Amino acid sequence: MRVGAAIPLPLTIAIFAVAFCLAACPWLSGGVTIPWDAKSQFFPPVQFLATSIARGEWPWWTPNLFAGWPLITDPQSLLFSPIHVLLAASSPAVDIRAFDAVTFVYLFLGGLGVLMFFHDRGWHPAGGIVAAMAFALGGSASARIQHTIEIVSLAYLPLALWLVARALDRASAPTGVAAGLLIGLLALGRDQVALLSLYVIAAFIFTHWLTGPNWRARLRLSLTAVTAAAVTAACIAVLPVIQTVLLAAASNRPHIGYESAAAGSLHPVHFLQLVFADLYGAMRSNEHYWAPQSPIWDAAWGWPELYLSPNMGLLYGGALTFAVILAFGLVRGLAWAPEIRFFSIAAVLVLLYTLGGYTPAFRLMYELLPGVSLFRRPADGSFVLGALLAVVAGYLVHRWLQGTVPPSSRLQCALDMACALILVGAALLLARSVVGVRPALLPILTAVIFTCAGIAVLVMAQRANAHHPLAAVALITGLMTADLGWNNAPHVSTALPPARFDALRQDTGNATVQLIRSRLAAAAAPDRRDRVELIGIDYHWPNLPLAQDFDGVFGHNPLRLRSFYEATHVGDTVALASQRTFSPLYPSYHSAFADLLGLRFIATGVPVEEIDGSLKPSDVIFIGRTSDAYLYENPRALPRVMLLTHWRRADFNEVLRTGWPDLDPKRTVLLEHAPAGLPRVDAAGESGAARLLHYGNTEVVVAVDAPMPAILLLNDVWHPWWRASVDGVQTEILKANAIFRAVVVPSGAHVVRFSFHPFVGALRELLVKLTGQ
């Protein structure tokens, strides 16, 4: 009989589910919510998706940010996350608590994949639960739960590995298709966790082929299954990946240099937190934090030139997890056992990756491995490292309960004690050199208590296992639940009061949102769709327009279209007033470009003159102040659609460098090239009228009445995947005024239709790049 076979798989899953839900209860109950990036970057696109589905519109493009943004290309949009799509389809108003629940569903499914992997190998269910708990509730999966897209990618890894292993073992093409489905969904994450996970899966397949007897036969038998997986994954992921690659090439940062990437390395001292949870105080307020990239560390050791948040070093996956890896895996050498050797080697390689610039290994990976140079933070490898260590630890618990851990020699016992003393000593000495011993005492004492409890539970579980395997599972599950529930409890990086994010709700009573909505409605006109800037209010406000369905100028995203970035010079976010910078083309709120953007309202966390010191009192109109913001109006904001007869050629690179020329944007449009079929006029004449018949995500329809041939200007950002037609006849979309769209219209009444084609457009653009035509 297989080890642990007396415990049915459904019961094992049920035990894991209960333990998991106990740990997730603070969030699932609605007592706290996952904050920071989860609400700033990831919730708003899902609400936008829900709004789009309710209207029957495609969500591929959003007008709500950056003067228009190809959301389909953005890995952070969650448009290809199946459970988030189901959530968005279930209601036009996405519930914040339900959004959090989806994150935990993904983590649970990843843990389920771990359990299935263990079950297929006949490993003890208790080992599977240790691995599943450490995977889903430990390390970066816990501390960085706010990085929703990386959690989704992480969850696919064990599920994909389980099905890949099945497909290889059984030479099953249908299982290969199922594995390919999960690999394709993993690749759709298009983030660093997905990249590393794909490398792990590829290495797993090659290891299966090249190890063991008669590798040629193994290769031949599994080739059909692997081919089925590869084809399925390619069908799912290739086109979205191409779209994102094209976005990167047209973005503000298509390439990240080695020095910039290495600045996101995880400092070696952070790995002490595998043993001592929150050794550096990252779970409390920043004033207590004393690890690298803190003023306290800087005063003692000097700045290590890192680009990390304090929570990125929280790696704790349970005292039992680390203890068995140290004692059984390293000291007794079981980490090199054939059944687990792949995961041990993979963990070492991912550890080197995560250390980044602190070893030469990352430089080689950066230079040699495709995709690595696209990402700025090797510390994200900690997600995958935690998953691999969890599997190794679970296997070692299985070996212990099976009774196949060799008895300890005196030397091994001495090494166990020496390692424990060295770790404690290192933590104390480091603390003494930076902040004093006292802050380290509680984390060290807590680790000692839980480690002793883990040793005791292992002994009791081994004794109980022979006759009562369920008791062994219960003992170990109870310890893991208590340990991770206590040491990875909700904290400032993972849990804040839901009321803080009320402005994101569709039914919000937030005074600032209500005031903006009412003012936009009052200013509505057939040719208008005014924009709003939200500056320096709170971390989750920059992407608020996506959630509240009005058009903002800026947002929170490390990527912007290069032309928009060059026009504005604004960085990743404007959560702080100091992050709102100006550019030659956009030098002030009193400027031609602000007017062309249709910037009608400005909501700021500080008085606007503290942001734009060039403003005169009459340049903007003060509307009022709420508990969140000061609200101002720009009375010069121009319509979204304009009909103009006068144009002038301009070098847009020069315009971006020197600013708007001495021209009236209400009368003259700048073009890169002379428009076909439109005569040059010396002065602007009567332009006629333009009005919006329909304005959707991927389609804009404009009625024009032109007394003479003219240019229809649409003040939305130009992108090559848009197409236009006049009365059904396709026409060229011109880039106008440095970043906007325009088309030539003949005299008379016409209907102009702009439509977004991301799939055909991406393939055409790729073909042009490949052929040079």
Whether the Cβ atoms of residue 322 and residue 275 lie closer than 8 Å to each other: yes
CA atoms within 13 A on the CB side of 204: 25
CA 23 to chain centre: 23
This prediction has a pTM of 0.95
User: What percent of the chain has a predicted confidence (pLDDT) above 90?
Assistant: 88
> Residue 684: its pLDDT value, please?
59
Whether residue 752 is predicted with pLDDT greater than 50 in this model: the reply is yes
Alpha helices in 171-294 (DSSP H): 173-187, 192-210, 215-249, 258-262
Q: Which of 173, 134, 475, 80 is nearest to 316 (CA)?
A: 134
Alpha helices in 435-468 (DSSP H): 438-465
Backbone angles phi, psi at 609, to 5 degrees: -70, -20
What angle is formed at CA 298 by the lines to CA 294 and CA 303, rounded to 5 degrees?
95
Q: What is the pLDDT of residues 346-402, one digit of tens each?
A: 999 999 999 999 999 999 999 999 999 988 899 999 999 999 999 999 999 999 999
Q: How far apart are CA 474 and CA 480, in angstroms?
A: 10
Q: What is the pLDDT of residues 22-56, one digit of tens each?
A: 999 999 999 999 999 999 999 999 999 999 999 99
Distance linking the first and last C-alpha atoms of the chain: 66
Whether residue 267 is predicted with pLDDT greater than 50 in this model: the reply is yes
Residue 451 binned pLDDT confidence (cut-offs 50, 70, 90):
very high
Q: How far apart are CA 621 and CA 101, in angstroms?
A: 43
**C-alpha pair distances (Å), 381 with each of 90, 134, 194, 413, 760:** 34, 16, 10, 32, 34
> Residue 12: its pLDDT value, please?
96
Considering only residues 300 and 16, tell me which one the structure prediction assigns the higher pLDDT. 16
Q: What is the pLDDT of residues 223-236, one digit of tens each?
A: 999 999 999 999 99
Three-state secondary structure call for residue 429: helix
User: Tokens for 1?
Assistant: 């009989």
Q: Are strands 531-535 and 599-604 parallel, antiparallel or unpaired?
A: parallel
> Residue 682: its pLDDT value, please?
60
Three-state secondary structure call for residue 729: strand
Residue 252 binned pLDDT confidence (cut-offs 50, 70, 90):
confident
Q: How far apart are CA 401 and CA 344, in angstroms?
A: 20
> Residue 297: its pLDDT value, please?
87
Q: What is the mean pLDDT of residues 143-161?
A: 98
> Residue 116: its pLDDT value, please?
98
Whether residue 686 is predicted with pLDDT greater than 70 in this model: the reply is no
Q: What is the mean pLDDT of residues 542-556?
A: 97
Q: What is the pLDDT of residues 487-531, one digit of tens each?
A: 999 999 999 999 999 999 999 999 999 999 999 999 999 999 999
The H or E element spanning position 551 is strand 551-552
> Residue 173: its pLDDT value, please?
95
Q: How far apart are CA 219 and CA 216, in angstroms?
A: 5
Q: What is the pLDDT of residues 290-347, one digit of tens each?
A: 998 888 888 888 766 777 889 999 999 999 999 999 999 999 999 999 999 999 999 9
* Residue 254, Ramachandran bin (φ over 0: left; ψ between -120 and 50: alpha; else beta): alpha
Under DSSP, the state recorded for 741 is E
Q: How far apart are CA 91 and CA 124, in angstroms?
A: 42
Considering only residues 68 and 296, tell me which one the structure prediction assigns the higher pLDDT. 68
* Average per-residue pLDDT for the chain: 94
Of 181-195, 330-344, 560-574, 683-697, which range is least confident? 683-697
Whether the Cβ atoms of residue 398 and residue 123 lie closer than 8 Å to each other: yes
Going along the chain from its start, the domains and CATH numbers come out as: 9-31+95-487 (no CATH), 500-633 (no CATH), 641-771 (2.60.40)
Q: What is the mean pLDDT of residues 649-662?
A: 95
Q: From start to end of 20-81, where are the E strands?
A: none
Whether residue 1 is predicted with pLDDT greater than 50 in this model: the reply is no
Q: How far apart are CA 351 and CA 354, in angstroms?
A: 5
The H or E element spanning position 568 is helix 562-568
Numbers of helices and strands, H then E, in the chain = 26, 16
Whether residue 246 is predicted with pLDDT greater than 50 in this model: the reply is yes
Q: Which residues contact 40 (CB under 8 A, 6 or more apart)?
A: 539, 540, 542, 543, 556, 573, 575
Backbone angles phi, psi at 262, to 5 degrees: -65, -25
Whether residue 285 is predicted with pLDDT greater than 80 in this model: the reply is no
Q: What is the mean pLDDT of residues 5-15?
A: 90
Burial of 345 (0-12, 13-18, 19+ CB in 10 A): middle
Three-state secondary structure call for residue 452: helix
